[in-house]
Amino acid sequence: MANETVFKRYEHNPVVTAANVPRANSIHNSAVVRLPNGKYAGVFRVDEIDMRYRLHVGRSDDGIEWNIDPDYIRMQSDDPEVTVSDWSYDPRLTEIEGVYYLTWCNSKPQGPAIGLARTTDFVTFVQMEDPFQPPNRNAVLFPRKINGKYAMLHRPSDRGHTPFGDIYYSESPDLIHWGHHRHVFGPYPGWQGTKVGPGPSPIETSEGWLLIYHGVWGSCNGFLYYAGGALLDLEKPWKVLYRTRDYLIAPTMPYERIGDVPNVVFPSAAVVYPETNTIRVYYGCADTCVSMAEANLDELIDFIKTHSL
């Protein structure tokens, strides 16, 4: 099966653009979940016309037509030292035991940091301690505890536009104290030869944790971002069972090639539909808009296993 047939793009992409929010310059690299009632909620990265990056709540009946709050999230915190930055971006959402946890890149003077907050209603967000010291970015929680502890994938970074990047695993008994740091995987020559980073919350399958990740290729014209896939061991997720040699989605469409940052496919959310055995991935395009692509779950897993490094 050719890799371009694993994921099929939604024919009316993009599904979210700057037109969804009055002050937006662009909306991209955002997080989406399907609620128990079948509707959808999301946290969207909105780069505003003052070029601050803020997080906005969105809601949808079908995950396609979105109503995004024109005002950004103002998080609650009991600690004045734990604050959200005006340059907050690239959110991920993970549901654990009825609570939705938000992770994002929470910029600080010392460099990018990982922010962590929780909500049950997408109205009130309670900010928690930052899991790691900066610089770090692209973090996502696993949707259940592993061996009795919370688990997270993340990518240690630097204070610039990171010309490197490996994925690491860490765990915590309380979402405050983090340890047991393990290297998962790093770049590999080709489309993922410069850096890699975790995408949506890993999906538990009988074949392992399904991870959709981004890989970056450094060309003579700059960075190009692609989507790849991996399967991780269920009980030791730092052990890689399979990892794609070929990309899953490449920046080939005009809305992926042309924008504020050209040639970017950045997977940041995934929804599984057990009733149809399909997966829908939401991804940022050219740092400008949000699009969708869908795949049969069995075909995706088979592709990862048969096109593995």
Those residues with Cβ within 8 angstroms of residue 130's Cβ, 6 or more apart along the chain or in another chain: 82, 106, 113, 114, 115, 116
Count the residues in the chain.
309
Round to whole Å and give the CA distance between 238 and 124: 33
Q: SS3 helix, strand, coil % of the chain, rounded to 5?
A: 5, 50, 45
Q: How many CB atoms lie within 10 A of CB 160?
A: 9
The sheet with strand 40-48 has its strands ordered as 24-34, 40-48, 53-60, 67-68
Q: How many CA atoms lie within 13 A of 213 on its CB side?
A: 35
The contacts of residue 270 (CB under 8 Å, 6+ apart) are 199, 200, 201, 203, 212, 279, 280, 281, 282
Q: Give, for 46, the enclosing helix (H) or strand (E).
A: strand 40-48
- pLDDT tens string, the chain, 309 residues long: the values are 344 679 999 999 999 999 999 999 999 999 999 999 999 999 999 999 999 999 999 999 999 999 999 999 999 998 999 999 999 999 999 999 999 999 999 999 999 999 999 999 999 999 999 999 999 999 999 999 999 999 999 999 999 888 899 999 999 999 999 999 999 999 999 999 999 999 999 999 999 999 999 999 999 889 999 999 999 999 999 999 999 999 999 999 999 999 999 999 999 999 999 999 999 999 999 999 999 999 999 999 999 999 999
Is 29 in contact with 305 (CB distance < 8 Å)? no
ω into residue 134 within 30 of 0, thus cis? no
Residue keyed to tokens 């128990």: 36
Instruction: Spell out the domains of the chain, with CATH numbers in brackets.
Output: 14-306 (2.115.10.20)
Residue 16: half-sphere exposure toward Cβ, Cα within 13 Å: 39
